[in-house]
């Protein structure tokens, strides 16, 4: 039996590969299909939409955090950069962003009290 996490990773990889091969006309159709005004949203579609939006929110917050850290002159090593980019919890990222505004070190921002 395939591990559930690996199965989810495989599905995501296959979906990304499929979408990356589509031309602009088909992508336009998919964008139109994802418009909730065109097709009523099923429970499954709503769940998928929430997942996609959450991924986008986390990526946006991670990008904002990395920008604040760099602008403030806080040096990031590869491991820290990866830790921030892999964090999917919007609340943790928001706390880190708030701390980054006044922090003088990465330890102050990415405190051990956050389990991402």
| pLDDT single digits (tens) 7-66 | 778 888 888 888 788 888 888 887 777 776 666 778 888 888 899 999 999 999 999 999
Q: Is the pLDDT of residue 1 over 50?
A: no
What per-residue confidence (pLDDT) applies to 37? 64
Q: Is the pLDDT of residue 114 over 80?
A: no
* CA proximity to 65, closest of 27, 96, 107, 34: 96
Would you kindly state where each structural domain of the chain is located, as residue ranges?
1-40, 41-116
| pLDDT single digits (tens) 38-53 | 667 788 888 888 999 9
* CA proximity to 103, closest of 78, 87, 79, 80: 80
pTM score: 0.62
Long-range contacts of 69-76 (CB under 8 A, 24+ apart): 69/100, 69/106, 69/109, 72/100, 72/101, 72/103, 74/100, 74/103, 74/105, 74/106, 74/109, 75/106, 76/106
């Amino acid at each position: 039996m395939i591990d559930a996490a690996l199965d989810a990773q495989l599905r995501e990889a296959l979906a990304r590969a499929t979408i990356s091969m589509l031309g602009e006309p088909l992508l336009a159709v998919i964008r139109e299909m994802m418009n909730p005004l065109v097709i009523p949203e099923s429970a499954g579609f709503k769940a998928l939409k929430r997942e996609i939006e959450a991924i986008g929110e986390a990526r946006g917050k991670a990008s904002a955090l990395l920008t604040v850290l760099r602008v403030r002159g806080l040096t990031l090593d590869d491991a820290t950069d990866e830790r921030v980019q892999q964090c999917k919890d919007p609340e943790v990222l928001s706390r880190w962003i708030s701390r980054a505004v006044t922090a003088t070190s990465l330890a102050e921002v990415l405190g051990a009290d956050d389990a991402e």
